[in-house]
Amino acid sequence: MIELDGLTKRFGNKVAVDHLSCRVRPGMVTGFLGPNGAGKSTTMRMMLDLDNPTSGTVRIDGRHYRDLQEPLKHIGALLDAKSMHGGRSAYNNLLCLAQSNSIPASRVSHVLDTVGLSAVAKKKSKGFSLGMGQRLGIAAALLGDPEILMFDEPVNGLDPEGIHWIRNLMKTLAAEGRTIFVSSHLMSEMALTADHLIVIGQGKLLADTSMADFIHKNSRSFVRMRSPEQERLRDLLHAEGVVAVEAGNGTLEIDGEEPERLGELAGRHGIVLHELSAQRASLEEAFMQMTAGSVEYHAHSDRDGAPPPQAGPQWGEQWNQQRPGDTAGDRTTGV
Amino acid sequence: MASVPAVLNSEWTKIRTVSSTTWTLICAFLVTVAMGAALSALLNSQFDDLSAAEQATFDPTFVSFSGMVLGQLAMVVFGVLVVGTEYSSGMIRTSLAAVPQRGSFLFSKIAVAGVLALVVGLATSFVTFFLSQALLGDRGTDIGAENVLRAVVGGGLYMGLIAVFSMGVATMLRSSMLSLGILMPFFFLVSQILSAVPGAKSVARYFPDQAGSKILQVVPDAMNSDPAPYGPWAGLGIMALWVVAALIGGYLVLKKRDA
């Protein structure tokens, strides 16, 4: 269990984390979500006592990090992929960490095996790819077999196989009753792994909710229809009291109706349909709407003197560019 | 609190598993010994060309430590890299997450590296002394002679303290490049030049290397050097004060700043 209470961090005039209070509970994966620059990494560094909070506290199992005896046995963290000495072998990098917390050397080989780096254990870590560095960082986090694990953007630099592996690893660890806290700026990634969501923007808490609740509240279900006889279809729907919204590309979107009923309706009147599909609006959209305000302020404060940008949609564009070959899973995108 | 023996053990592993430790320390040893031996041989053959004042204050012990002017630079590199690579590699965050008691972390690291530097420094000092005395022949001195053992042990202490001073500075500056960029020219040029400039001389003699190297002299004002208002041990004490100041500064920076 991690408890944040009024956690605040200022860098000069800029407030990076603003009175953040929340709990991270055991036995589940808690996603820590926010756009780039929202304060996720700063928050995580404060949790590990690397950065001093301006005010507020963090408690790990009721204690301050600094008061933990052998902290690696309580909480393991992956912050940066490159946080090891490149001139030292993977094995030795982990060995010196293990020794500082009186962890037996046998654990080093064990965690290297877990993350699949046994073959390169004796290699200097500066030759590692980003993905291998990420795995080494994860091995370091697992070293003390801790009850709490924290991962900052763990999928960065991993290939699809690696992403799949880390997702399963987090779920397995959570199923063992551990507390898993994982940050991401990708809603799609969170939707696949997290049971609970903590969303921040501009350092402020925007949402602290279960994933199921978030999906329920934020995913709009609708039916999409496309027909060569669009005018007739519209008139028909109107006559039946169904509200259809034109969505461009000759498609209509209908809220609150079952596709079966709409299909039968069109069939009875002999209207040809090219598409009839149930759709769910993406969670990314919901996430972007939620954080748009905070992002707007952030983008503005970043560029001093620049005219206030139309940051909501602008940020969305950036976000789309950043999105890797995204596997949508069971979700379809309505845009 | 992470246990101190565990942290010491961890820091020892860190030091022995990077190649920079080996090459900087070997460099410190070889440069000091080779240059000391070369100058001893040279002075032995050119003794008659020395000025009368230099002949009068000829100090065979001090001559054997001539190589330390260069050898200490390798010690500076060793000290800076021990601390600086934590920052340049990003390892510092991993290290402090494992040992959040920053005082334990810093002083364990410095204790391990300092003892290693001291051991290498002592070995260097003894080897360069005996080799140089052999090359000086009849003009050489004996380890049993008055104050000679003090100077030879002092040579080891001097090299150890130079390394620890560099560690303190690197902890304050949190960067290998910046620390080397300041310390190397300081010890190699600034301190040497200022100690020869009449006006600056009275200040420069309190610099850590100038004060500390007094311990290397057996004959007062050896080789016609400027007289100092302090003795050999007081000189080493002044150097030790510099080291303590650097360590306190480093500790405060590490404690206050975000990692």
For A219-277, write each residue's pLDDT tens digit.
777 899 999 988 899 999 999 888 888 887 888 988 888 899 999 999 999 999 999 99
CA A72 to chain centre: 24
Nearest CA-CA distance, residue B109 and chain A, Å: 11
Question: What is Dmax (Cα atoms) for chain B?
Answer: 64
Q: Which residue in chain B has the smallest CA separation from A125?
A: B89
Cβ atoms of B70 and B31 within 8 Å: the answer is yes
Q: Which residue in chain B has the smallest CA separation from A9?
A: B258
Pairing type for strands A179-184 and A148-152 reads parallel
Residues of A with CB under 8 A from a CB of B: 45, 48-52, 65-66, 68-72, 77, 79-80, 82-89, 92-93, 95-102, 140
Buried b / exposed e along B45-79 (16+ C-beta atoms within 10 A) = eeeeeeeeebeebbbbbbbbbbbbbbbbbbbbbbb
Specify the pTM: 0.84
* Strand intervals (E) in chain A: 2-11, 14-24, 28-33, 55-60, 75-78, 148-152, 179-184, 196-201, 204-210, 221-226, 244-246, 251-255, 275-280
Pairing type for strands A75-78 and A204-210 reads unpaired
**Kind and range of the H or E element at B149?**
helix B148-173
Half-sphere exposure of B24 toward its Cβ, with a 13 Å CA cutoff?
22
Tokens 């057996």 identify what position? B218
Q: Does B201 touch chain A (CB under 8 A)?
A: no
Residue A327 reports pLDDT greater than 50:
no
Our CA angle for A202, A6, A287, nearest 5°, is 35
Query: What DSSP string runs through A50-61?
Result: SS--SEEEEEET
Give the pLDDT confidence score for residue B243 in this predicted structure. 98
ipTM of the complex: 0.89
Closest among B170, B12, B172 to B77, alpha carbons compared: B170
Cβ atoms of B53 and B226 within 8 Å: the answer is no
pLDDT in tens, A272-292: 999 999 887 677 777 877 777
Q: Does B98 touch chain A (CB under 8 A)?
A: yes
**Cβ A65–B89 below 8 Å, yes or no?**
no
Mean confidence (pLDDT) of chain A: 85
Per-residue pLDDT of chain B (259 residues; tens, 9 = 90+): 568 999 999 999 999 999 999 999 999 999 999 999 999 999 999 999 888 888 889 999 999 999 999 999 999 999 999 999 999 998 999 999 999 999 999 999 999 999 999 999 999 999 999 999 999 988 999 999 999 999 999 999 999 999 999 999 999 999 999 999 999 999 988 888 888 888 888 889 999 999 999 999 999 888 878 888 999 999 999 999 999 999 999 999 999 999 8
Distance CA B89, CA B61 (A): 42
Lay out the sheet containing A244-246: strands in order across: A244-246, A251-255, A221-226, A275-280
